[in-house]
Chains A and B, each alone.
Chain A
């Protein structure tokens, strides 16, 4: 057993070294490009101290790494797609698994190690200190590490597709197809329920959207997920490579399931894109949205299916057979559509009884967390408020009856924010856009609904708007009331005449000023309420905290915007005095570092 393992390792090392040897040219070119980018960008950054140059380098490095990774992967796994290479490699005294994984390791090392090498050299040159460029060495190293992980995920997926495909062109098309089509498919499947189910609350999770697209994983990078993804690809490769039919080289797919999956994915995504285009046209012209949506879906998906079928099957061969999964896809989507359109088994009309509810919370948008605490919603256990919330909720549902009949695909709102992104909350002002309510039931279950108030000129959600205007709602859904003062990191105020004045707590003495403004505003809010005429001032309260790794950088999580009413005289006076005494009139873009 031990000797078998050692012999396999020896073989693996031999193939690895041989592959390195045959890729010497690529490695030299790759290192030269990376080195050139690093030296030029950091030299310019050091000279100018401009932070953004690192961003350029990150993009250049990422694109170079991806291109080289793709080239090396194509070369490494090409033996599976060439009859002549198959004859040679298949007859060597090396197991299929050893051969495949040696090649995969080579591809990873060839495209990944130069990245880490350049990073190490940069760290050594700069002595692990990039402070002159307003960036820390951890950020640079993490950037390189992230690119390396993305690269490994791409190579693992590429390897798996190499096993399944018979030809290099099929492999490249499949890789591109999955990376491009999967995000559209997942996005559509996430978004469509929120368009059809009144009250459905959705936060598009970017990690989920790119979960099958490692090439786009930088959009929302989750290192652990991509390592698991890589492991899954490797495990599947381990099982599939052994019994792969070598005769599929330069011919058909070795395994049919991925072929079917890619065809379905691509035709579904193309259908969805066309459907949304048709829907947009329909909305603009006031046409029948569902009919237009389905017309787009069928036309787009069928054309895409034809193209993919033609590419993979080299003509119309197997066309009729290929229609089965295509038809099944359309059927499944139609069922999904019907189920949503009919209220998803009572989802739309469900409101829990007051007795069942333990607590309730409200937010004016997507939740925002600082140190694990949701600063946009507070758990309310007061039965009186719970009862009012339930009544407002029921009234909103009654108001939707007519609206539902008019439009099937635009009943609800879309929310693209994720937990960490900066969002604008209008809870304190009258410009609320969304009423978001979450009931926590006695048995621990949570029921969340979201109602936008802008449909049908606000008539649909009139009840919720009224509720949103109550003091109870505002005080339980506004960071100004919920959030601890220590997280107030900045106050900006906008005077129509004099422009923007900004304080951020990293400036000397600004922290106290920020708190004073907030306190004064809240005091007057308690005294006068909020439904008075607005003055020329708009206030922006920013919440977040100082970035630990760089003392001068603020990590702003959320900014709450409020117009200051004219009767808030003390607040206005305070703002005016600040404007006169301290002339810190800056552009907000300059004040806020990259978030």
Chain B
């Protein structure tokens, strides 16, 4: 289990993480979403012991992770721009990982090398961005991590490889109880793979929910009336967003469908339809709710 307790991290005057607390259960896939500069990458770096938090602590399996070799041995972090030296190949990087990760799985490594369309003797630095990420993933998964941390892993991957990656991750989660934290702006991909979503904003966690609960907890509703109605008729509902075009209203309502639909029906609409939001829509709505003025940005 990953426990992040009241963690703060400042870079000179910029507060990247602000008293952030979060718990990630074992065997789950946790998606970290948030606006640019929300602190997603910093959080992953603190969790992996790359950065030391100014305040608070990160516990993995009950132990502080900073400079804790036995805990780090269970983790693998693939950063947003994975580093490879000029002479690095998958083969010679595996030479190092094989020695320093006690759980290195040679068979699985060979299997992954044959699964991904890569030559292990090629210099990684000469590979495309997507292929570099694949190389990083081969090495990461071969260490058989109990905790895998991925930062923008889908960036640059083609659709087929994206599916392959998701499949491999899901298999490891199911078969080995691996815990995965993925920070990404690709909400469509996160929607497919994540169990939990954490929304970061200005260094703090805005919301943390199970994906289904998150998606089912907010709906977009289109509702039309024959007559002209006053907007105050929706006052009793928890409206997140509202727009009007004549007598047609588009509402984003927080809450379960069962709870607000009877109230809307009672208003005798001419037409009414409720749909769950995509993760992207949830993200935009929540960010708007947090004061992130999307209309002005756009």
Contacts and interface: CB of A to CB of B under 8 A. Distances in A.
Contacts of A10: 99
A72 interface: no
Given A10-B99, A21-B92, A91 B75 contact: yes
B45 interface: yes
A15 interface: yes
A25 B50 CA distance: 30
Contacts of A96: 67
B45 A90 contact: yes
A15 B48 CA distance: 20
A141 B83 CA distance: 42
Contact of B76 (A25, A91, A252): A91
Nearest to A25: B87
Contact of A93 (B50, B69, B83, B92): B69
B85 interface: yes
Interface stretch (A239-247, A372-380, A579-587): A239-247
Interface stretch (A81-89, A459-467, A475-483, A525-533): A81-89
Contacts of B73: 93
Interface residues of B, number: 30
Interface string A151-181: 0000000000000000000000000000000
B77 A85 contact: no
A88 B84 CA distance: 9
A252 B14 CA distance: 14
B147 to A, nearest CB: 11
Contacts, number: 78
A18 interface: yes
Contact of A247 (B11, B82, B95): B11
Given A22-B85, A95-B67, A14 B100 contact: yes
Interface string A213-231: 0000000000000000000
Contacts of B49: 90-91
B6 interface: no
Contact of A245 (B48, B52, B67, B69): B52
A21 B87 CA distance: 9
Interface in A253-294: none
Interface centre among A91, A94, A242 (most CB of B within 10 A): A91
Nearest to B73: A93
Contacts of B92: 18, 21-22
Interface in B118-153: 149
B160 interface: no
Contacts of A243: 52
A11 interface: yes
Nearest to B48: A91
Contacts of A14: 96, 99-100
Interface in B79-117: 79, 81-83, 85, 87-88, 92, 95-96, 99-101
A87 B52 contact: no
A92 interface: yes
Contact of A91 (B77, B85, B88, B96): B77
Nearest to A85: B83
A260 to B, nearest CB: 17
B51 interface: yes
Nearest to A10: B99
Contact of A84 (B48, B70, B82): B82
19 contacts: A15-B96, A18-B95, A18-B96, A21-B95, A22-B87, A25-B87, A82-B83, A84-B81, A84-B82, A87-B79, A90-B50, A91-B49, A91-B79, A91-B149, A93-B73, A93-B75, A245-B51, A245-B52, A247-B11
